[in-house]
Amino acid sequence: MGSNSFRLEIAELVKGKYKRVDYLKETVRLGAGLDAHGLLTEEATQRGLTCLARFAQRLKGFATWQVRAVATQTLREARNRDAFLQRANLVLGHTIEVIAGREEARLIYQGVSRLQPSELPRLVIDIGGRSTEMILGHGRTPQRTESFGVGSVSLSLQHFPQGRYTAEAFRSAQIAAGAELEEALTLFDRSQWQEALGSSGTVGAVSQILAANGITDGSITPEALRWCMAQCIEAGTMEALNLPGLKPERKAVLGGGLSILYTLAMHFDIEALRPAKGALRQGVIFDLEERIEAARNHRLPDPRDTSVRELQQRFKVDPTQAERIRQRALSLWATLGEPEAALDGEDARELGWASALHEIGMMVSHHDHHRHSAYILSHVDASSFSQSQLRKLASLVLGQRGELIKLAEHLHDQALMSQVLCLRLALILHHARVDLPPKLAELQRGRGKSRLVLPRRWATQHPRTLHLLDEETRRWAAQGDRKLEVTLKD
């Protein structure tokens, strides 16, 4: 779900080989629907929902695990994105993830590197509607990923109002693009790559124009871009611009796209930018394949597990305590005995990741570290995670201790509150930061309540733990979505 178009790609992967089954694309211009206050207008919302309703028809019969929907810059920016996503999830019938800019860049490179393999150091560029991603990579490994807040839709709206093309408009648009991209000059220096590829609709559209007019073979060069801009200026308006290879839906954003491309070509010494075979949508499919294979074969790592370990190292988390909490929280989760309690399900994975990262805020301060942990998870760039999933992990670690009133907006989410309960109880049981018997505790669910079962002999030997559990039962009775009982058995 991009800022300019929504795309649906259905593919089959057999022994790593990619076969497209179907592809749908609609120009939605969601990015043009952000008002001056950063709110998505109802008109733009309806355009998006109408498109998603058509996509939902095509996706009938697909299981949840077979589908992944991601949204990019416009929904990263929109202040009312949660309201939009609530409606969009219902229409599509699948959960939509908002991904961070660097994660978008990583997925773009994954799509390009799998469908167009090369051992040359390469620069990959994707000019979207409201952002531009740049990636340095070698083989299948992205070595540097960045996202910049300038795109073909936003730049066209600002510098080519009513679709008017002038030389001055192109100059001002290039200055604006250059100001946004200037910090990338040293990061993506010409000495670091040998070939340049472009994966976006902008690159594809300009390449088609150049090839259809016999200017180049489809390669985008500075000279060819100057020819394109001259044709725009000569036409004067987008309505009057009629070039072979130019699709009508591309006219409204061509000025901004050309300005970004020319700025990139001149600033980064790009002699020729060639269209890439892969893009974000293929990268998402390859990433989904890795998740599915990791779920089927536990010997294969989920890429998000690697990201969690990297965050633990970056924020100097105590790995021994994190693993104690993770194991205990998952043990309690498994004893719930409900459908969502499966240990290979996404809810269990999220509980495991939240447990592994619950103390990353300690690096900021021991006081209220759960709030620091939640803030970090809400804002950190974590490879393979969507912003939506990181925000859920943030809610879990925020709820790890203290009053439950701060989770008031989540009380209707029974699965999330069960995750919170398991995490809180694990922390209480291991508050002394020592190992305990693996099958010490069992968590049972009844109507409107949960029951923690402990051995009486062990409990009487740990009065401090019983005191903390007594406080916990009072909190759930007053502020939670259920009652919590502690039962001692002989």
The pLDDT tens digits for 167-205 are 999 999 999 999 999 999 999 999 999 999 999 889 999
Share the mean pLDDT of the chain. Answer: 94
Residue 99 DSSP class: P
pLDDT per residue as tens digits for the range 37-79? 999 999 999 999 999 999 999 999 999 999 999 999 999 999 9
User: What's the mean pLDDT in 251-266?
Assistant: 96
User: Read out DSSP for 115-151?
Assistant: HS--SS-EEEEEE-SS-EEEEEEETTEEEEEEEES--
Kind of pairing, strands 69-71 and 442-446?
unpaired
Question: 3-class SS at 433?
Answer: coil
Gap between the Cα atoms of 199 and 185, Å rounded: 20
pLDDT value, residue 295: 81
Look at residue 338 in the predicted model and tell me its pLDDT: 60
User: For residue 340, is pLDDT > 80?
Assistant: no
Q: Predicted confidence band at 489 (pLDDT cuts at 50, 70, 90)?
A: very high
Give 164's strand partners: 237
Better-scored residue on pLDDT, 135 or 448: 135
pLDDT recorded at residue 342: 59
In percent, how much of the chain has pLDDT > 70? 99
453 and 489 Cβ atoms separated by less than 8 Å = yes
Q: How confident is the model at residue 16 (pLDDT cuts 50, 70, 90)?
A: confident
Q: For the residues of 183-211, what is the DSSP string, one character each?
A: GGTTTT-GGG-SEEEE-SHHHHHHHHHHH
Residue 339 binned pLDDT confidence (cut-offs 50, 70, 90): low
In one-letter notation, the amino acid at residue 397 is V
Mean pLDDT of the 373-401 span: 95
215-247: pLDDT as tens digits: 999 999 999 999 999 999 999 999 999 999 999
pLDDT above 90 (res 482): yes
Q: Which residues are 362's β-sheet partners?
A: none
Exposure b/e, 74-86, CB count within 10 A at least 16 = b: bbbbbebbeebbe
Q: Is the pLDDT of residue 341 over 90?
A: no
